[in-house]
Each structure stands twice: as structure tokens, then as C-alpha cells.
Structure 1
Amino acid sequence: MPNEESVSEPLLYADLFCGCGGMSLGFEQTGFECVGAIDKNEHAVATYASNIGTTPLQGDVTNYSADELLDKFGIERGELDVLIACAPCQGFSQHQNKHDFDHDERNTLVSFSAELAVEIQPEFFVIENVPELVRGSKEKYWARTYEILKQAGYLVEHDILNAADFGVPQRRKRAIIVARRDGRLVELPDACTEEPRTVRDAIGDLPAVEAGETHDTDSMHQAPNHTSRIVTMLNHIPNDGGSWMDIPEPHQDEFWLDSMKKRAKKGDTGSFCDTYGRMHWDRPAGTITRKSSTPSCGRYVHPEQNRNITVREAARLQSFPDSWIFEGPFISWYEQNGNAVPPKLGEAIAEKIRELRPITDKGARQMTFDAL
């Protein structure tokens, strides 16, 4: 029997806008315990329940008060160690139409989450979102959020972190914000010193599959189907980093769209050169998005095989383990995966929080909460 002093209570977290559970998985892997979660997407909720083991509320978090969430999660105000709020990021995206931006209700969800946090009173409040949240013309939403937290006595740290610096085989820059109650020390995780993991590291050992095929040993190692024209086009794109721009001249008239011809003529391809692009074996992948099932939406084609990456490959590039199973229809698997926080990035955040507040202090901290 361990002696009484060595027994520790787990640190508790709740996840708003939990999606399929990427951030939560990072906290779970660090020893945190989930008391509740919520998301609107039914398929993400099902995936979260299957893999994390907690069934989230399915619904719009804006329809709940702080007291209602506390009741649903079975905790008291001030008892929660970490509240996570990774609100939908599309409203902040650089691709958002500038005329729609100010009217996108998703832009208010970050400050709404901060108001909930102030009422729920977790010790730590964690936000992940696109970099546009904390820079440029979109900073006004962050300024409001910061002011809400500051006025409530939270000390706030934020920066733009690259998931590739934390063991994720993917270049994915995100705004990470961590706030702590009562003005106490708060820090963001330090980047690891190892070489970034590459596409080869992540998926190089997976067996080959054809477009539209599912490998018989893994239901998630399923590739999207392509027309015969797309498969033939991909066959003309060089392995290991080629794209539509590298299609040999004799085949360009057949496969280049008018928009491709115009861009090639101008020499102004920008990020458009990534469309119908193969991944590079020995580099981290580019950002894995909800559109990673479609070769026309980015550099999502396998480095050698004539198909887009499978769901398992996309999940590995997000740092999900092979035990992870997505629920719902096939196309939603890519959407859930692309919308998720890479678990390894979540794990780094969770580890830093544990370092700042050792788990053995939980009992003493609870006595302080009870006195509030």
C-alpha cells in the first residue's frame, strides 16, 4: 500500500469546442482527467466518446451558462484545473472574405469563452486558434479577450507556436494562449531541440494502397477515390515533392486548367503551386486541413503513390496514435482530423501546466478553493 502522502488526485480539465479530441488527448496522455466536454458536431462527439472515454454534450456552447456547464460537468466553481477553448477558427482565417469577417459570429466565440472561464474560475485557461487571432487587423477580438481575462486577475501569455517544434510531423503555426488565475506564473512550452519529424518518419512504414482502397488490417488506412483522369495526372507528377507545375510539357495541355496556364504564364503561382502537390518525404508535411482528402486543395498527395493521403496517414501527420478511430461518414474523418489540435502539441501544453502546478499540490489547492 502506498502511504497516504504519496497518493495524488488527478488534475481536472474540461474542453469546450472539443472537436474529435486532439487537445484532450494531449492532456489525457499527460495524466489529466476529463470532467466534461461539448461540441456541436455529432460525428466529432462520437469520435471523442469512443477514444477519450467521456461522452461530450452535443450542442452549442453559447446556449449554456457557466452554472449549467458546471452542473453538467459535476464540478464546483473554482475546482477545475484547466478549461480548454479551441473555438472554430475559420472566422479568423486569412482566407476569410474581408467583407464577411466582421459579421462572422465565430469571431466572438473566443471572447465568449473567456467570459465563461472567468465565471467557471479554472486555474488555467487554454486557447488554441489560427495566428490571425493575435496579429494584424483581427487583433481587436484578441484585445477584447485579453481585457476580460486581465480584469478578472488572470496573467496571460501568448505566442504563435509551430507544431513541428513539438514532435508533430507537420508545419502548423497556431496562436497558443495560456492564462492563469490570481496573476500567478504562467509560461508556454519550450520547443523541443530534436530535429523535426518528417513525412517519412510518420507514414513511411505504412503499406501501399490504391485510390479508393482500404487496407485490410486498418479501416482508417483508406484512401479517397479519384477519377481515372486524376490518377493519370498524378502519375505524371514527379515523386517526392512534385506538383502540377512539374507535369511534363507534352501533357500540360491535357491536365493544366486555364487558371494554371495563366499563373504559369505570369510566373506568379504563390501557394497555388501546392495544389495537386506530392508531399516531400524528408520534410514535415504542410498544414493538414479539413480539406486534406482533396488533391486540388493543397499538397496532400502521397510522396510516391498516385493518390491522396489516407485517413490514417493524415492522422499520423497530426500525431494521433494508430489506436485512434474516427466515427461518422468517411469525408468527416478528414474534417475531424484537420480541425483537431495535434495531440503532441496539446501534450506539450499540458506538461508545462503540470510543471507549473505540481499534481501533489492539488489537495492543498482544493482547500483554498473551498474557502472562496
Structure 2
Amino acid sequence: MSDRNVTDELDDLQYVDLFSGCGGMSQGFEQVGFDCVGAIDQNENACETYGHNIGTEPIIGDITNYTADGLLDEFGVSKGELDVLISCAPCQGFSQHRNKDDYDHDERNTLVSFSAELAVEMEPEFFVMENVPELIRGSKEKYWNRTYEILKDAGYLVKSDILNAADFGVPQRRNRAIIIARKDSRKVELPSPNVDDHRTVRDAIEDLPPVKAGEEDPDDPMHRAPNHTDRIVKMLDLVPNDGGSWMDIPEPYQDEYWLDSMKKRAENGDLGSFCDTYGRMHWDRPAGTITRKSSTPSCGRYVHPEQNRNITVREAARLQSFPDDWEFQGSFISWYEQNGNAVPPKLGEAIAEEVKQWYPIEEKGARQATLENAFSD
């Protein structure tokens, strides 16, 4: 166990980010004053972005090839020394949008519990996890149950719930499972909403200069729009501003622009979320969930409220709450993928603030509740 005195070193709280991606959660922790001592991810583009913006070069590799001791050696820290271990394991295997096959044997489903096992061996003060809501309240709960038992049996007090990023200043409706666990059954809580009014698409992107499909703002390479065919641009021109979608294309043009699948759904009245495709964002609402597919109009409501194109990378990043000095690395299409896969930094910041407020241990002895006391509050 490290003899580092957390009472005297609140400005030197250390974290490691497993499955670090491009650094959304880490950015939130950095904004609160935590220091990254290590990160790991398999995606080379995301690792390049992480190093460029966070300042720590992640290990590019498969985490399952490492032991806890091996990772601690790589990061130059000792068992019990970390303040926070972050794990945002890939969630695609859990997603409700991929329900056509049985994903019970998808190896990504085991990464959640695998990272908990690493945490037990590395002994951080806090273990933080973010994932899709289905992990703790839905079809994939069995994977969470196993993870919970691993942490609980090792003496961690575990708090979990589904939080909406919009409640924490992110201009986007994004429900995510958030888990915070603390060593030695010391009490901890999840962050509470910290905004009275949700930020909107207008709040986030209205001030950005207009660009056309396929064009880039000369003053900001991230404010670059995906290219669309002439047919798609003409189709989008027929979609009403501020929240319209393919359903609102005037009748004289429907035969030309509606796909067979659209016609069938319209006839059956079975629209579901399909009505969001080729949809414009609403100016005065938070955006819907920004995904890795936000460059493609057929994949959701990702069209600019007024301009005939999908949102630019900068607009997508702002809707995720990344700062304007954030620069993605790698291929252009990977910028959207990295952004959509990231934890919104503002949500990460709220989590980091919650974790930090439980320090220093010596001065907050009243908060050192045992598991029994925590549940008796």
C-alpha cells in the first residue's frame, strides 16, 4: 500500500483509464484536476487523439493480454496507489440496437467483469465505469450481476444508476449506466444533476459559421462537414428546417425521394425511431444521442437544423461537450466514430467532482460509512 498522503495531495489525484478511447471521460477528470498516469485502448486513432489532447500516450493493445501487475508496472504505480481506475469497456455487444443475434458469447460482454477483476487486484480507492443502460437495467443485467459480485466480495461499496448526460450540462439526451465503487466499503454516491435547464442544440452550435456538405471552415479543421451526393443534398433541401425529417418531404416529391422502406412504413403507420432518419435537429431541444454514425443522414437525426448537410465534427464534438481546442486525430470518418463512442466530458467532470469531494479521508471521517451504515442512511 502506498504511503502517499491524500490529505496533502488533493491536487495530485491519480487515475488510470482502461478502454480509454479518445479521452472523453479522462477529459472530465482532467478538468477537475486529476492526473493521468496511464491509459490503454486497442484503437490506434483514438489513442493518437488521447495522447494529443490529454498528454499521456496510451498503450495501444488488447487489455486481456495484461495482468493487473503488468499494467501497474507499465503505468509506474503500485498496488493501492491509484485514486481512480476508470473502465468504459466497449458497449456495442450490449446495445439494444443490435438485437437480431444472440450476443451472449460476444467476448466484449466479458470485458466489464474482467475490468472489475483488474480493479480488485489493483486496489484503487475508486472504480468508475460507464456503459449502456441495458447493462444494469435490461437484457444484459447478468453481466452486471457478475461484476457487482466481484466488487462487493472484494469489499467495494457499489453505487449504480442510469444518468442522463443532459442533466449535467451536455446538450444531448444520452442515458448511460454509471457505476462508482469505493474500496473498504467506504461510502460514495453518484453525482446529482447540476443544471436547472438543459442546454440545447442552439446553445451549442448556432454561433459556428455555415459550411456546405464536404466543406471545411478555413479557421477550424474540425468544423468540416461530410460530403453528400447531389441527390441527398436536394432531398435534405426538401426537409423542413428545425426538426423536420423524411416524413415531412412534400407529397409531390415523395415518389422521387422516399425509399421503398419509407413508403412501406408510412403505409403501415409503423414509424418508431425510423422517423428520425434524414432528420434535422431541433434548435431549441438537446440533441438526441450522438453516435459513431452521426456523419450519415440515414442513421438518425443528425442533419443540421437549417443547412443541407449532416453536422460537422466540431458540431458533433460540441454536442458531446468537448472543448473547442479539442482536435481529433486519424482519418476523417474516425473522428465521428471516436466522438460518438466517447463519454461526454461534462458527464465525466460531474463524476470526477463527486469522487473528489470524498477526499481527504482524514478530514471526512464521517463519510467513511461501512456497507451497513451506507444502506441505513
TM-score range, shorter chain: over 0.9
Equivalent residue number for residue 33 of structure 1: 35
Deviations, residues 296-319 of structure 1 (Å, cap 9, x unaligned): 000000000000000000000000
Equivalent residue number for residue 218 of structure 1: 220
* Matches of 1:205 and 1:160, distance apart in 2: 32
Equivalent residue number for residue 157 of structure 1: 159
* Matches of 2:234 and 2:363, distance apart in 1: 61
1:268 shift after superposition: 1.1
Matches within 5 A, 1:1-372: 8-358=10-360
Task: Letter of the 1:292 partner, please give it.
Answer: S
1:7 shift after superposition: 6.5
* Matches of 1:216 and 1:168, distance apart in 2: 27
Task: Letter of the 1:283 partner, please give it.
Answer: R
CA contact (8 A) 2:169 2:195 kept: no
* Matches of 1:7 and 1:188, distance apart in 2: 23
CA contact (8 A) 1:154 1:179 kept: yes
| 3-state SS in 2 of match to 1:192 | coil
Going from structure 1 to structure 2, the CA distance change for 1:315 and 1:359 (only over 3 Å counts) comes to: farther
1:295 shift after superposition: 0.3
User: RMSD over aligned Cα, in angstroms?
Assistant: 1.4
* Matches of 1:67 and 1:157, distance apart in 2: 26
1:101 shift after superposition: 1.1
* Matches of 1:169 and 1:116, distance apart in 2: 34
| 3-state SS in 2 of match to 1:175 | strand
CA contact (8 A) 1:163 1:170 kept: yes
CA contact (8 A) 2:87 2:128 kept: yes
* Matches of 1:264 and 1:360, distance apart in 2: 64
Question: Taking structure 2 as the reference length, what is the TM-score of the superposition?
Answer: 0.93
1:193 shift after superposition: 3.6
CA contact (8 A) 1:10 1:359 kept: no
Going from structure 1 to structure 2, the CA distance change for 1:360 and 1:231 (only over 3 Å counts) comes to: farther
* Matches of 1:29 and 1:63, distance apart in 2: 31
Going from structure 1 to structure 2, the CA distance change for 1:42 and 1:262 (only over 3 Å counts) comes to: same
* Matches of 1:352 and 1:252, distance apart in 2: 51
Deviations, residues 14-67 of structure 1 (Å, cap 9, x unaligned): 000000000000000000000000000000000000000000000011110000
Deviations, residues 199-258 of structure 1 (Å, cap 9, x unaligned): 000000000000000010000000000000000000000000000000000000000000
* Matches of 1:128 and 1:75, distance apart in 2: 23
Q: Structure 1, unaligned stretches of length 5 or more? A: 363-372
Deviations, residues 342-363 of structure 1 (Å, cap 9, x unaligned): 000000000000111239979x
1:194 shift after superposition: 1.9
| 3-state SS in 2 of match to 1:100 | coil
Paired residues in the alignment total 358
Q: Structure 2, unaligned stretches of length 5 or more? A: 1-6, 365-377
1:137 shift after superposition: 2.6
Worse-superposed segment, 189-198 or 267-276 = 189-198
Question: Taking structure 1 as the reference length, what is the TM-score of the superposition?
Answer: 0.94
Identity of aligned residues (%): 77
* Matches of 1:323 and 1:359, distance apart in 2: 35
Going from structure 1 to structure 2, the CA distance change for 1:268 and 1:38 (only over 3 Å counts) comes to: same
Going from structure 1 to structure 2, the CA distance change for 1:361 and 1:280 (only over 3 Å counts) comes to: same
Task: Letter of the 2:334 partner, please give it.
Answer: S
Task: Letter of the 1:72 partner, please give it.
Answer: E
CA contact (8 A) 2:130 2:177 kept: yes
* Matches of 1:360 and 1:214, distance apart in 2: 53
Worse-superposed segment, 252-261 or 132-141 = 132-141
* Matches of 2:107 and 2:267, distance apart in 1: 40
1:136 shift after superposition: 2.4
CA contact (8 A) 1:94 1:132 kept: yes
| 3-state SS in 2 of match to 1:112 | helix
CA contact (8 A) 1:8 1:359 kept: no
Going from structure 1 to structure 2, the CA distance change for 1:360 and 1:314 (only over 3 Å counts) comes to: farther
Task: Letter of the 1:280 partner, please give it.
Answer: H
1:278 shift after superposition: 0.1
